[in-house]
Amino acid sequence: MIENSFYTQEFHGPYELFHLGDFKLEEGGVIPNCQLAYATFGELNEAKDNAIVIPTWFSGTNKAYEPYIGEGRALDSSKYFIVIINQIGNGLSSSPHNSPAPISMSNFPDVRIGDDVRAQHQFLTEKYGINEIALVVGGSMGAQQTYEWAVRFPDMVKRAAPIAGTAKNTTHDFIFTDTLIEAITSDPGWNHGNYQSCTEVVDGLNRHAKIWAVMGLSTEFYKQEKWRLFGVNSVAEFVNDFLQPLFAAMDPNALLTMAWKWQRGDVSRMTNGNLEEALGRIKAKTFVMPIDEDMFFPPRDCEAEQKLIPNSELRVINSICGHFGLFGADGPAYFEQIDKHLKELLATPV
């Protein structure tokens, strides 16, 4: 175990921890005393049918979703019980740097998207007695988990909204994620995952951030100098003063754990590789919500999956920021689209 001040209440709170006990993983191995970090907004009603579940995306925590929540918004904490659950390995929930031996650091086991959703299901049922979820919604890796929820627990999930993500990761995305992994592991300071501080891997983390600067945004983002949306005055400032410091604070092994999981996200693992059969299991009213300029999860990839989901609709979100549109840097224009579609989805009888 090592200390990392980034993963604290100061930066990501308030959040709480739920202890799952010894948690068995799909790839074999166990996380002893597995912990899920979570944040809640609003109150669970007496019928326990107003829960909205939000799983986190790559590198993100519960804090990243706070701009999506508010009274009068689609994710209205005065009407719904909103639970944001940090995925395993994201730095707040059980992760390489905060787990004791024998699974600390480089010994942290491989975790699947399915493990996250099984852990979240255990948490929600044991902690709150929830057996019906009004909506599961998440972006990027949160979308992967949303699909997993809808396929794995079709009677429990009433509505689903995967944003900027796919049910089965593509070959293109797998190769891209390899570059993110190699950026970190090629740093001698990584030391096969046995460093003493993330500062020892700063060169690798900076390379990792620079790759995101290419693929996380769109070509038009740079043509139109939309990096100004992030409060910077030049491309150099965007990369060197925003993106690189952001990733430099994170734990390298946590990023690698999530990247491995992201690469292998695939709901068809539950149906012997048959994606059509897997998505055909979904009973939730589903809005598939890609971002038009997203280079990871372009609308055509998302639409191909949406067509396999019964009672589903494609709702494309416009954002020149591409995948980074998830951060809401476009301002009201982005959130107005998200709220419009989610309000309609939540108003749809199921």
- Spot the catalytic one: 294, 301, 330, 339: 294
Nearest Cα residue to 63 out of 3, 105, 6: 6
CB 109 within 8 A of CB 27: yes
Number of alpha helices (DSSP H) and beta strands (DSSP E) in the chain: 12, 8
CB 69 within 8 A of CB 82: yes
Q: Please tell me whether the peptide bond between 102 and the residue prior to it is cis, using omega within 30 degrees of 0.
A: yes
Cβ partners under 8 Å of residue 269, min gap 6: 112, 114
Known active-site residue 208 = no
Rounded Cα distance, 306 and 299, in Å:
10
13 burial (CB, 10 Å; 0-12 / 13-18 / 19+) is middle
Known active-site residue 294 = yes
- Spot the catalytic one: 12, 97, 208, 323: 323
Question: Please, what's the b/e burial string for 17-38 (b: 16 or more CB within 10 A of its CB; e: otherwise)?
Answer: ebebeebebeeeeebeebbbbb
Nearest Cα residue to 37 out of 17, 11, 12: 17
Nearest Cα residue to 323 out of 168, 174, 213, 164: 164
Known active-site residue 140 = yes
- Spot the catalytic one: 93, 95, 99, 140: 140
Cβ partners under 8 Å of residue 206, min gap 6: 244, 247, 248
**Catalytic annotation, residues:** 140, 294, 323
